[in-house]
Amino acid sequence: MEATLGEQTAVGFSAGTEGPEQYLNLSTLALPSVSLRFSEPAELQKCVFADSLVTVSEGGRELGEFSVTVEFARREQPCMMLHAQSHGAIDDSYLTTDLEVLEEDHHEYVKLEGHSVDKRCHMVQRDGLMVIHKVTTVGEEVTEESMSYPMSVLRGLVTEGSSLLLMRLIALRRKMPENMTFVSLDPGLHIINTSLQLEVGGELLDVFGVERIIQSMEGSPSTGSCFQFDSLHSLIRHLVTRVQVGSPVTMRLLELPSKAEKDSVIFKIPLVWEEDMQMRSKFLDRKESLRPTLLILEQHPEIRALISDFLQLLLLRKPDDVFLFAREYFTPFASNHPADADQEAIL
């Protein structure tokens, strides 16, 4: 099912809004007067670390783990890579240093005896558009949706992946305007701040909280909260608990990070090898040295087919003597060479 912006009621739209006004309504959901951009590289580096929580049921039983990692990456430009995984959900996001989504994969799944649900959503920037493709599988029934929005109307877009990095930044700064509104794909996203104390490993901590409210036009709002605490003398603010209102499970930290972690924290510096003269020179030299090999493979495509067939047969047979098996396999291809001569050459 294809849908364009004019056919969709995007998140945060007022019911009955049509035509060009939709672009205005969507873009103004994000407050342009508030900048959440990383102002200094040092601030960006403080968001590069891993969090690991345990998923606990209402009865206190451990159900699994929830982990979040943020790393420097490069995708045609310096960016951030975020990976989040829990029992039943996986997020992979590539974000600019301004928290703009370059590409994101979101995967949710539930596998029970006699019943399974699998939801996948992929979004990527392409030619000035955010192209979104969703696939929902319930049992054997598959439903697909595709839609696209101009990037010009998605200012302030916050997704499942980017929200985790956004919350780290907000917790790091410990300040933001009240009732700040962003754009979401299922509806507008409100983030407010609060604070309280939580007990972790028998120690009472002052933590900073961020509450996220997703307004839905088809049902009641979805509310979730994340709380973080200062660690390593304010170098890092770790995630201590994550709660989704209405969900029977809670994600929380069981033990405080080791104090020795401070000495082991090494921040990665983005490496742009194209701008490094030595690395670029080595790359060009290696590329030139491989050119004759690539030329032979291009002129004789049968080489790839021959090697592919050999490897496939090797994996099927799993011989004890790989060299003997290779000699027996390739001997018929050595035309005009007696078997004894081939054997002497191999020995």
Q: What is the pLDDT of residue 242?
A: 56
Average pLDDT for the chain? 68
Q: Which pLDDT does position 103 carry in this prediction? A: 92
**pLDDT at residue 28 tops 50:** no
Q: What is the pTM of this model?
A: 0.51
Most confident of 139-148, 230-239, 264-273: 139-148
The listed range with the strongest mean pLDDT (168-172, 238-242, 292-296) is 292-296
Q: Which of 44-58, 123-137, 272-286, 326-340 shows the highest mean pLDDT?
A: 123-137
Winning range, highest mean pLDDT, from 233-242, 275-284, 306-315: 306-315
8 Å CB contact between 128 and 150: yes
**275/149: higher pLDDT:** 149
- pLDDT for 331 equals 86
pLDDT of residue 304: 85
* pLDDT of res. 77: 83
Binning pLDDT at 50, 70 and 90, where does residue 49 land? Answer: confident
Most confidently predicted of 20-24, 94-98, 160-164: 94-98
Q: Where are the domains of the chain?
A: 30-270, 275-346
Helix, strand or coil, per DSSP, at residue 343: helix
Neighbours of 204 (CB within 10 A): 9
Whose CA is closest to 35, among 133, 176, 142? 176
Whether the pLDDT of residue 119 is over 80: the answer is yes
Mean pLDDT, rounded, for 60-75: 81
97 vs 93: CA distance, rounded Å = 12
Confidence band, pLDDT 50/70/90 cuts, at residue 125: very high
Q: Which of 94, 47, 93 is nearest to 75 (CA)?
A: 94
Could you give the percent of the chain with pLDDT greater than 70? Answer: 55
- 151 contacts 125 by C-beta, under 8 angstroms: yes
Rounded CA-CA distance 340/289 in Å is 35
Residues 240, 168: contact at Cβ < 8 Å?
Answer: no
- Judge whether residue 104 has pLDDT over 90: yes
- Dump strand ranges (E) for the chain: 2-3, 50-57, 62-74, 78-86, 89-95, 101-112, 115-126, 129-138, 141-150, 180-182, 189-200, 203-214, 222-231, 236-244, 249-252
Task: End-to-end CA distance of the chain: give it in Å, rounded.
Answer: 64
pLDDT at 260: 46
Q: Which residue has the higher pLDDT, 151 or 15?
A: 151
Q: Does 303 have pLDDT greater than 60?
A: yes
Query: Cα(168)–Cα(178) distance, rounded to whole angstroms?
Result: 17
Nearest residue to 256 (alpha-carbon basis) of 170, 173, 196, 198: 198
Largest distance between two CA atoms of the chain: 86
Q: How many other CB atoms are there within 10 angstroms of residue 93's CB atom?
A: 26
Is a pLDDT exceeding 80 seen at residue 246?
A: no
